[in-house]
A and B are shown apart, each in its own frame.
Chain A
């Protein structure tokens, strides 16, 4: 057993966050000055800054939820660092899951072995670092090439393929919630059958999230409520998690925790 939330790890997290913030502030100042030089009004720039900040709040809460979800197994520091640099909700969850699988663990169990913990840290880091190697090497050349190629590939195909890649990734997690086996749990409150495999709980949570999202988006679209459009995703996610808590409290145990795949 080791402390995955010790002061040293916290310090490392602080250094990483400082680097990321430093880069962003530097670019913000440079671009702001250039914008003024180009003759863009300060009011327009202020509008860009405020709207971008507001737009970011809700998706950031979804990222925080991912940090919390991963914290169950990894403590809070490593997920915090990973989600602050390159970190992507789906990729970090996938990388952590894949790394834990190699040592027979899952995201539902606390990682207590330091070697397993460092293994996860390395897999998450090396799995996500490729863009930081590719960008400095190729972005400048790529810009020239892309500008020439742009217009040759039909926009409808580019849109379809990028949506398809995302759908394939989400489909993997959605299908596991419908038909995947989990690691059987042994829970003092909810009983030995309470694991994280597909069952009543996972399917109802999934459906609650999907339905809530679609309803909120419909309302936002019909009533032209811009903020709701932005907040629909975190609201739906927290609503679905609330449904899971409610089910655990209200439904009989043999129904709420029924897992058809074990």
Chain B
């Protein structure tokens, strides 16, 4: 990491803050902005319901949530613990608000720290990860918004059943998860073989099991298998 002359930093009030004070201030900003984001998030379905004049049955919401919430909530806790030492205070609040941490924010922050030659859990690492994740969040939010506006008029033609693109849109899931999984499967083939084989066999006997049910089965199986392999020193 290159340092600038001390005089260049003088006069900035942030220089006066100790690392602990800066960290406390980041927590305050993070808490307030995260709660604001939570309010904005909950406003979405509420305003949709008010606008449309319909409210879904609570039993339906619970039935849908029951399939995903146990895994998502557990993942949220695991991710919080796992990323805290890597992403710093500012980076944690930002990346959890905009999401896509493992496939975007974390590698982006790690690459930025590498480029700036700073270490996680250092003062410099804290600011570099915050800058990196803030930029990444801005870019990703803008790209999604611009593409939504650009694609909106064409979307019906692209996804219509008789469109030439229809087969591609029907196969987004294998195309997406094939590319996403390829690296993980290649690097961790010993861990990957069992969960994939077991889930395929399960589907051979009961092909209608929905993805929402398969995910927690796959995750538990995969983690248990990885733990066993690690204990047997096979990893």
Contacts and interface: CB of A to CB of B under 8 A. Distances in A.
Contacts of B14: 30, 33-34, 36-37
**Interface residues of A: mostly helix, strand, loop or mixed?**
helix
A94 B17 CA distance: 44
B141 A172 contact: no
A97 B177 contact: no
Interface in B29-65: 29-31, 33-38, 40-45, 47-49, 51-52, 54-57, 60-61, 63-65
B76 A131 contact: yes
Contacts of B56: 115-116, 118-119, 122
Contacts of B40: 15-16, 19-20, 85
Contacts of B187: 163
Contacts of B217: 172
A237 B175 contact: yes
Contacts of A179: 200, 203-204, 207
A35 interface: yes
A108 to B, nearest CB: 6
B90 A135 contact: no
A46 B79 CA distance: 29
Nearest to B172: A69
B211 to A, nearest CB: 5
A69 B173 contact: yes
Contact of A160 (B31, B90, B158, B226): B226
6 contacts: A16-B44, A33-B12, A49-B135, A51-B112, A60-B139, A190-B167
A123 B169 contact: no
A139 B89 contact: yes
List the 10 closest pairs (A to B, CB-CB), nearest first.
A209-B178, A168-B222, A98-B212, A168-B219, A164-B226, A175-B199, A181-B207, A119-B56, A31-B130, A123-B64
B119 interface: no
Contact of A15 (B43, B79, B165, B181): B43
A132 B96 contact: yes
A1 B37 CA distance: 31
A37 B15 contact: yes
Contact of A127 (B1, B54, B69, B158): B69
Contacts of A255: none
Nearest to A88: B99
Interface in B192-235: 192, 195-196, 199-200, 202-204, 207-212, 214-215, 217-223, 225-227, 229-230, 235
Contacts of B41: 16, 85-86, 125, 129, 132
B172 A176 contact: no
B222 A167 contact: yes
Nearest to A64: B147
B76 to A, nearest CB: 4
A249 to B, nearest CB: 7
Contacts of A94: 68, 211-212, 215
Contacts of A24: 94, 98, 134-135, 137-138, 141
